[in-house]
């Protein structure tokens, strides 16, 4: 079995008496794209800080390349590329100066790759970092993060606050990088449409706990939106029982019938469901990652991140 590049085991983070991440365990295998999703305040930022060795967990462990993140952070950073949620670099340095500085630190640095990416992003290389837009700052940091050909790329909501054009440019760059190098990626994001095109595995944090963690295709295969007319018949005496074969996460009664989101769909059960007395014109439609996410955490209240 291939050893994970990144792993969390029972990770817990508390601030005083408040628990923001509770006993989270997950792992990321080489060559995969792992997306961690959650509403604002679900605990993603605290988890990322522990993963990168910037914060010591209250309980459990975070490891990179098989070593504890807190005690071996410096060694791990040499093998990684990181794009933080808030772009951070000396404000007076230009992109060209930043690249020259990092080039001395990484023997595998690819300056031509940096130049090409910044040109594609249309980011000026002679303007101080502090004077760039937030989108340009993020694109500079992505170009720098990829320049050392990292084994692991950690992205903390890299498209947050970007317009549609900039978001598309970031995801296209990542897709190209994955196709060329098979870089392992761990990312948090609110851009569910963008990540759906590239993620292999998805986890969802809800209230600091892991609500699910599974391959994206498996996840999408078991979630469906059911729609059907709910008719009165002579034999039918109790409504709602028709959904007993499914785990219905959300049920809404409409003027025309019923709409339900189920998380354990299979074709055999649906065939039987369509034959249920009073169920008319039943349809099952696939759901996007965004629709699944809303079904899982849509009612969650925000908390401290």
Q: What pLDDT does residue 238 have? A: 52
For 232-269, how does the pLDDT look when each residue is reduced to its tens digit (9 = 90+)?
665 554 556 788 889 998 888 877 888 999 999 999 99
* 181-234 pLDDT per residue, tens: 778 999 998 889 888 988 999 999 999 999 999 999 999 999 999 999 877 665
Query: How is 157-173 classified by DSSP, letter by letter?
Result: STTTT--HHHHHHHHHH
Which token pair is 272?
A: 């039987």
Q: In Å, how far are 79, 184, 288 from 200, measured between CA atoms?
A: 22, 11, 14
Domains, the chain: 6-218 (3.40.50.300), 224-286 (3.30.70.260)
Q: pLDDT tens-digit profile of 62-110? A: 999 999 999 999 899 989 999 988 888 999 999 999 999 999 989 889 9
Q: What is the pLDDT, as a whole number, of residue 301? A: 44
The whole-chain average pLDDT of the chain stands at 89
pLDDT (0 to 100) of residue 233: 61
Confidence at 304, pLDDT banded by 50, 70, 90: very low
Is this model's pTM higher than 0.75 or not? yes
Q: Which residue has the tokens 């169920």?
A: 279
């Amino acid at each position: 079995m291939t050893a994970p590049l990144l792993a969390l085991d029972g990770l817990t983070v508390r601030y005083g008496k408040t628990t923001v991440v509770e006993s989270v365990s997950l792992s990321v295998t080489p060559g995969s794209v792992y997306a961690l999703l959650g509403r604002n305040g679900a605990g993603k930022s605290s988890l990322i800080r522990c993963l990168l060795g910037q914060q010591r967990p209250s309980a459990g462990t975070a490891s990179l390349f098989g070593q504890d993140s807190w005690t071996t952070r410096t060694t791990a950073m040499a093998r990684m590329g990181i794009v933080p949620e808030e772009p951070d670099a000396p404000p007076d340095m230009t992109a060209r100066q930043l690249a020259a500085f990092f080039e001395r630190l990484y023997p595998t640095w690819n300056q031509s790759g940096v130049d090409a990416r910044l040109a594609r992003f249309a980011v000026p290389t002679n303007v101080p970092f502090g004077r760039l837009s937030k989108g340009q700052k993020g694109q500079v940091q992505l170009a720098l993060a990829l320049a050392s050909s990292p084994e692991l790329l950690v992205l903390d909501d890299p498209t947050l606050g970007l317009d549609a054009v900039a978001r598309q440019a970031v995801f296209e760059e990542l897709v190209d990088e994955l196709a060329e190098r098979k870089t392992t990626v761990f990312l948090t994001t609110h851009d569910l449409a963008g990540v759906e095109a590239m993620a292999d595995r998805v986890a969802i944090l809800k209230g600091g706990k892991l609500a699910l963690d599974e391959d994206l295709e498996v996840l999408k295969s078991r979630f469906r939106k059911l729609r059907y007319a709910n008719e009165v018949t002579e034999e039918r005496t109790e409504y709602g029982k028709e959904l007993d074969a499914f785990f219905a996460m959300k049920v809404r009664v409409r003027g025309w019938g019923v709409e339900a989101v189920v998380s354990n769909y299979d074709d055999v059960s649906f065939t039987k469901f369509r034959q249920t007395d009073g169920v008319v014109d039943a349809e099952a439609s696939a759901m996007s990652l965004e629709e699944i996410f809303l079904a899982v955490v849509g009612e969650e209240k925000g908390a401290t991140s």
